[in-house]
Structure 1
Amino acid sequence: MIGISDIEAAARLIAPHIVRTPTVASPGLGALLGVPVTVKLELLQRTGSFKARGAAAKLLSLGEAERAAGVVAVSGGNHGVALAAMAAALDVKATVVMPRTAPARSLALAEEAGATLRLTDGMDSAFELVNTLRDEGLTLVHPFDDPVVIAGQGTVGLELAEDADDEPTDVVVSVGGGGLIAGVAAALRARRPGVRVWGVETEGAESMSAALKAGGPVPVPLSSVVTTLSPPAVSRLTYDHVRELVEEVLVVPDREAVRGCLELADHAKVWAEPAAGCLLPAAREIVSRVGPGARIGLVVCGGNTSFGELTDWADRFGLR
């Protein structure tokens, strides 16, 4: 299990390379949900998501031979962008494997940062290709199955614990492979032990929910439009943290995740991707269970979606 000392060490290591993003009250979301809401704005992080933290932590931990070999990552979008940018900043050659369904903006940003981009037909084949490239000698920077990466992501929770003026009773975190929620939950368990941590996935990207039902990681069929939450399976490492530290993982429809993006724009004045939009329908469910005494914390994990993509989804789901 990742400990608070691991997360504090990661925080010191990556501090010169990342942004300490704002943790602020959101009166607009408070009015929408009917309870106080605090937001951790990781969409203002370098490369537009929390992923820069874990990528920086891993790259800075590598030895000379590992750096010289070049690094490789598999990603539904944000991890690849973050690794490409951080590798360029640290003068490490990077290869990023993404499915063709990844957000167009993410594909462009990874390439613009100087990474070699390899595209596959889906996330399953992306994971297969990255394993092949690792076996050929590249250094793997896994998006979630790595304690150094998880400790880096856990610095989000460390900052939330230190910076929230109104301590949340319930913190909501999006779940893809589980690296972010594992790190955040570990940090909050140590720093704010009374806080409940909840996960949220979208239908068709239910790898952690399926693992919790099965008693361990299992492969899942992927169909969600939220490709950044769509690994084919979680890892034993992230599963163990969620099983131990997280209250529950809720599952919401894609339509409600997209609606959440529009509500975040309207009520919080932030431009978020569906991986963050799914927080709002989950928060509504949590408030209905906890009651009016709830104080909600939302980790707004990323904002890497274009106007065209979001309006296309809104049209598809009849939200405009």
Structure 2
Amino acid sequence: MIDLSDIETAAQRIAGHVVRTPTVPSPGLSALLGVPVTAKLELLQRTGSFKARGASAKLLSLGEAERAAGVVAVSGGNHGIALAVMAAALDVKATVVMPRTAPARSIALAEDAGASVRLTDGMDSAFRMVTRLRDEGLTLVHPFDDSVVIAGQGTVGLELADDAGELTDVVVSVGGGGLIAGVAAALRARRPGVRVWGVETAGAEAMSGALAAGGPVPVPLSSLVTTLSAPSVSQLTYDHVSALVEEVLVVPDRDAVQGCLDLAEHAKVWAEPAAGCLLPAARQVVERAGAGARIGLVVCGGNTAPGELTGWAGRFGLL
């Protein structure tokens, strides 16, 4: 389990390499949900998501031999973009393994940053390939099964604790669990009375499946939200979430896409479905917490092209 000192060390390490993103009250979302809402705008981070934090923390912790070997990562989109961009900035050769279902824009961004992108038929095969490349000598930068990466993501929670007003509940998206593990660890140390809730999309239920099973288990993947589609969580992220998180809620893909439209209309931000799922989950949290709730949302990323979002919205009859 990481602690506050690990997260503070990560914050010092990545200072100057990442953005201290805005933490702002949202009048539009407050009106929509009926309670005060504060948004942590990680979609304004370098590379368009929080992933730049963990990637930077890990890259900056590597020794000369590890850097010289080159790094490799598996990603449904955002981790790959972040590693490609941050590795290029630090003059480290990067290989990114992604499923063919990853957003075309994400693949292009990783390639444009100079990474060697390897495509597989799905996330299961992507994780297998990255394991093979690690065994061949590349340095693995895992998206969530790494305490240094988790501490880097935890700097989101550190900033939220420092910059937000009074909060009762914070809602965080869950893929492999690195973000929520870090945020929950930071908030437990800095704001111990705040409840942390996770949210997954149906068909990407690695953490809720693990919680039901008592530990990490493989899960079938069918969600359109590839950035949340981990084939399983790690023991490390499971341990943090089972100890520190109130509950992991599951919402349909349709509601996640509607959440993107609501964020655009009411919060004036362009978010991806991994962040759009926060709003339907927040409604459930408000129902449980009551009128005294004061909600924090970690708006994790905005790497969705207009055509992708309108295509999904059209498929679900939302336009």
- What's the CA shift for 1:167? 1.6
- What's the CA shift for 1:57? 0.2
Aligned to 1:261: 260
Aligned to 1:124: 124
Aligned to 1:232: 231
List per-residue Cα deviations over 1:276-308 (Å, max 9, x = no partner): 000000000000111000000000000000000
In the alignment, does 2:79 pair up with 1:79? yes
Amino acid at match of 2:235: R
Amino acid at match of 2:109: L
Unaligned runs of 5+ in 1: none
Amino acid at match of 2:230: P
- What's the CA shift for 1:178? 0.1
Aligned to 2:70: 70
Query: 1:55 and 1:167 mapped to 2: Cα distance?
Result: 30
Aligned to 2:37: 37
Length-normalised TM-score, structure 2: 1.00
Query: 1:35 and 1:108 mapped to 2: Cα distance?
Result: 39
Aligned to 2:46: 46
1:92-111 equivalent positions in 2, closer than 5 A = 92-111=92-111
In the alignment, does 2:136 pair up with 1:149? no
List per-residue Cα deviations over 1:96-123 (Å, max 9, x = no partner): 0000000111001000000000000000
Moved over 3 A (4+): none
Aligned to 1:22: 22
1:169-188 equivalent positions in 2, closer than 5 A = 169-188=168-187
Query: Secondary structure of the residue that 2:119 maps to in structure 1?
Result: strand
List per-residue Cα deviations over 1:36-92 (Å, max 9, x = no partner): 000000000000000000000000000000000000000000000000000000000
In the alignment, does 2:160 pair up with 1:160? yes
Aligned to 2:56: 56
Q: How many residues align?
A: 319
Amino acid at match of 1:232: P
Query: Secondary structure of the residue that 1:17 maps to in structure 2?
Result: coil
List per-residue Cα deviations over 1:206-259 (Å, max 9, x = no partner): 000000000000000000000000010000000000000000000000000000
Aligned to 2:298: 299
1:133-148 equivalent positions in 2, closer than 5 A = 133-148=133-148
Length-normalised TM-score, structure 1: 0.99
Query: Secondary structure of the residue that 2:127 maps to in structure 1?
Result: helix
- What's the CA shift for 1:168? 1.1
- What's the CA shift for 1:11? 0.1
In the alignment, does 2:307 pair up with 1:308? yes
Unaligned runs of 5+ in 2: none
Aligned to 1:213: 212
Percent identical among aligned pairs is 85
